[in-house]
Chain A
Amino acid sequence: MSVANYIPNKYDVVVDPSRCRMCGRCEENCSYGVFRKEQDRIVTFPSNCVVCHRCISFCPADAITIRERTATYRHHPHWDEESREDIYNQANTGRVILGGMGNARSYPPIFDRLLLDACQITNPSIDPLREPMETRVYLGKKPATVEITGSGRDVELKTSLSPNLKLETPIMVAHMSYGAVSLAAQKSFAMAAQRLGTYMGTGEGGTHPDLLAYKDNIIVQVASGRFGVSPDYLANSAAIEIKAGQGAKPGIGGHLPGEKVDAEVSRTRMIPVGSDAISPAPHHDIYSIEDLAQLVRALKEATDWKKPVFVKIAAVHNAAAIAAGIARADADGVVIDGFKGGTGAAPKVLRDHVGIPIEAAIASVDAKLRNQGIRNEVSIIASGGFRNSADLTKAIALGADAVYIGTAALIALGCRVCGKCYMGMCPWGIATQTPRLVSRLDPIEGAQKVANLITAWTHELQELMGAAGINSIESLRGNRDRLRGYLLDENILEVLDVKTVGA
């Protein structure tokens, strides 16, 4: 690197010598080499620091401080710090800038401009601790009508139902592949999903044999690289998801660096040890909607038409029309991943500039499907940056049947959103395959954390429903009358089909 393009350190890492006991745990825990224990002091290399908090969490003396360090640039409203530093970087390397996690620009979340409703006087709110408060959701095709003979207890259903997934809570754990995350992380998700009656996604990395015990709570993914796909893989699942796109990087494929492909990952993904796993941008057998229909049917045929098949797309400008196409291609669910969705690694320019907010995508997809009379044909699963129970409650009120949480589930495991997943050095044992680091994540404890999070959010969802006088989640779904927009402009209110506050 030339000195001309030097980028100043972002952080100061300070060890307070009056507190430090020289135990060396900071050095042992930091996988990025920030600390070195010398004879009588800890030397730090702050330029390596990613602010993962591992050292702070493990320092018994509370001796470590990490501060943001600003080397002031001359203020310029257009040439902000990030623009300048990206240019220095690219001038040095000539490469595409990678970034982990989701969109890092400060687009305002629409969720924060939507307010929920509550009952007062004319109708009573419902106390979820005293009354039933149903959060069960079924995902898959629903009949438009049903034929029933008889009455009372002597009734019989004449309509045959398509396979559906039964969720006891509308919250599922998103697809994060083995390879991108550790087996310990996947086990944590799988155990939590099984305990709560919900589901987790395998991502496109195949299913490790250790996860087969949880197969009834696993949604397997078929992505453009087809890694890990086999008849057994499809059979050992509750549902199948075709991944056509991802909110963090719409329009491109995936790349698992060879460094992360050890023997176990190699076996599960069915690729050679140490080789890069590159998923192409499109599915090379899907160049149009009729090809998707073929793949959906092929997967159904391979599993005796017993499993629902979902199709995941990134929320892009034309998401509504694409979703309607998916509904007509025999799929049972459409997964829409918003532009704030996370990832292990994505080109920063795509992560930050491509796609649309999940709120607008849910609203337009739900409206389009209803207008075409095919809303019962597919379930809508939304994902992409849900931060709390309010976000997901609003997503359901806009029209989603269920949501996936990815980053939030990682944070439950200890992730600090440092955004360096692609380096494979995750000190929390989540986004790494290094055995020494993976061993730091105990799946039993991890499962408890993830289960706690989903349970807590489900309780909060029930409180919000009860306050709104609603005791079954299907009456919340698409109930946009229970939302109001606060300081949203008229155009977006129209897309969301939500009134302004006070109206």
Chain B
Amino acid sequence: MLNKDGRRVNGSMIKNGLSRMNERGNGQGAGYAAYGIYPEFAEDYALHVFLDNMKEAKFSVEKEIERWGYIVHAEEIPVDDRKVEVSHIPYRYFFKPDPEKLLGRKIDEKDAILKMVMDINASRSGALVFSSGKNMGIFKASAWPEEVGNFYMVNKYKGYLWLGHNRYPTNTPGWWGGAHPFGLLDWSVVHNGEITSYGTNMRYVESFGYSCTMLTDTEVVTYLFDLLVRKHRLSTEMAGHALAPRFWDDIDRMAPNERDVHTALRLAYASASMNGPFAIVVGNTGGFVALTDRIKLRPLVMGYRGKTAFVSSEEAAIRAMEPNLDRVYHPPAGTPVVERLEGRA
């Protein structure tokens, strides 16, 4: 859900909505992403890390972080561990990259963060960075959605954009890192489905320097958005079209200007386009984009009330959050729906 006027609400609302869909999970993974929750550290990168221990793992993360900049603030993420079996220590760092340390390496600041996160996660040092954006954070664990929400006390955070996810793990076991949302920089991704083009997509993003360490398709989706939107500067809408391309039959019938655009997207991004059943919501500082596969093998429904936009797998979840909706809308297959904060392009 997104409050387009930037109004911040706590996480209890989305927790209630998400809990309506427990049929869709099995208690082995759930999580939340929230934007606007750290106004006091708004200019710092908020790194959420699962630590296996408070000694070597913590030490190795901090050593790596300090290669790129300095830690502004560090603390354990407050939890209420009465209901959840704790297998990692959720920890957070607020971090500022040091321009001088970046300068020597001729690397863009965000690319530096990306590399740092990838290095930590690939090193298998007992630490996993699962959230790395500014003024946003991901909270996830292996449990039912309300248990995870209570564990992290999401009702104590206030955000203008909330994403939630309830997982039924198939390809990878239900472990904390495998729960959604998946995050990188300001991106957070929740995903229902299984991407049959994973091998093609994975090799494509890896040729641009991303390393797929989690072996989940959600990770690949995140990297694809980062590549297409942040690096290639496509609009979110066009990135959506690149990832779930229009059918050639439709493209052939378009007006010439549109046809050129969609043909070029398919040619350039053939290996980025995703196949198989999926419904995805990708969050970013400026809003979210929701997208299904081209034949909508996974459900997706939008709801609107005033300045608030909701998206969900089920209308029931939206109605639990907001019983009085102005409008309910089922987006057509493979058509990106972009909702933005007011004043954001």
State the A residues within 8 Å of B (CB): 119, 122-124, 126, 131-132, 134, 136, 138, 142-148, 151-157, 159, 161, 164, 370-371, 373, 375-376, 468-472, 474-482
Contact = CB atoms under 8 A, between A and B. Distances in A.
Interface in B262-291: 263-268, 270-271, 273-277
Contact of A373 (B199, B200, B207, B277): B207
Given A472-B294, A479-B197, A482-B199, 15 more contacts: A122-B194, A123-B193, A126-B295, A138-B266, A138-B267, A145-B268, A148-B238, A151-B238, A375-B207, A375-B271, A469-B276, A470-B196, A471-B294, A472-B273, A477-B200
Given A122-B194, A148-B261, A132 B247 contact: yes
Contacts of A471: 275, 294-295
A154 B255 CA distance: 10
A475 B274 contact: yes
Contacts of A143: 264, 267-268
A134 B273 contact: no
Contacts of B204: 370
B265 A474 contact: no
B314 interface: no
B293 to A, nearest CB: 9
B198 A481 contact: yes
Contacts of B196: 119, 123, 468-470, 475, 479, 482
Interface in B174-209: 193-194, 196-200, 202-204, 206-208
12 contacts: A122-B171, A132-B295, A136-B248, A146-B265, A151-B235, A155-B261, A156-B261, A157-B260, A470-B196, A478-B199, A479-B200, A480-B199
B270 A142 contact: yes
A131 B295 contact: yes
A229 B275 CA distance: 43
Nearest to B248: A136
A486 B277 CA distance: 28
Contact of B271 (A148, A470, A474): A474
Interface in B203-229: 203-204, 206-208
Given A145-B268, A477-B271, A156 B238 contact: no
A122 B268 CA distance: 30
B145 interface: no
A135 B196 CA distance: 16
Contacts of B295: 126, 131-132, 471
A124 B277 contact: yes
User: Which 5 residue pairs are nearest across A and B when measured between Cβ atoms?
Assistant: A481-B199, A475-B197, A475-B275, A474-B270, A479-B199
B122 interface: no
B194 A123 contact: yes
Nearest to A121: B170
Contact of A124 (B255, B265, B297): B297
Q: Is the interface of A mostly helix, strand, loop or mixed?
A: loop
A48 B258 CA distance: 64
B74 interface: no
Contacts of A475: 196-197, 200, 273-276
B66 interface: no
Contact of A161 (B238, B245, B249, B264): B264
A481 B206 CA distance: 15
Given A123-B194, A472-B273, A370 B207 contact: yes
Contact of A470 (B233, B237, B248, B275): B275
A469 B238 CA distance: 24
A22 to B, nearest CB: 59
Contact of B255 (A153, A159, A164, A479): A153
B244 to A, nearest CB: 10
Contacts of A472: 245, 273, 275, 294
Nearest to A480: B199
B327 interface: no
Contact of B235 (A126, A148, A376, A477): A148
Interface in B288-329: 294-295, 297
A179 B255 CA distance: 46
B268 A371 contact: no
Nearest to A375: B207
A373 B210 CA distance: 13
A432 B255 CA distance: 49
Contacts of B261: 146, 148, 155-157
B232 interface: yes
B42 interface: no
A145 to B, nearest CB: 4
Most chain A beta-carbon contacts within 10 A, residue among B200, B207, B238, B260: B200
Given A142-B268, A370-B207, A469-B276, A478 B249 contact: no
B213 to A, nearest CB: 16
Most chain B beta-carbon contacts within 10 A, residue among A119, A375, A471: A471
Contact of A153 (B207, B258, B260): B258
Most chain B beta-carbon contacts within 10 A, residue among A136, A157, A476: A157
A462 B276 CA distance: 15
Nearest to A473: B270
Contacts of A477: 200, 270-271
Contacts of B260: 156-157
B107 interface: no
Contacts of A482: 196, 199
Contacts of B238: 148, 151, 155
A391 B202 CA distance: 23
A161 B267 contact: yes
Most chain B beta-carbon contacts within 10 A, residue among A134, A146, A153, A482: A146
A478 B235 contact: no
B234 interface: yes
B25 to A, nearest CB: 14
Interface in B131-149: none
A470 B103 CA distance: 44
A91 to B, nearest CB: 53
A370 B193 CA distance: 27
A238 B201 CA distance: 31
A475 B245 CA distance: 11
Contacts of B258: 153, 155
Contacts of B249: 132
A251 to B, nearest CB: 31
Contacts of A144: 268
B252 to A, nearest CB: 10
Contacts of B270: 142, 474, 477
B267 A469 contact: no
Most chain A beta-carbon contacts within 10 A, residue among B208, B273, B275, B294: B275
B211 to A, nearest CB: 13
B229 to A, nearest CB: 11
A157 B264 contact: yes
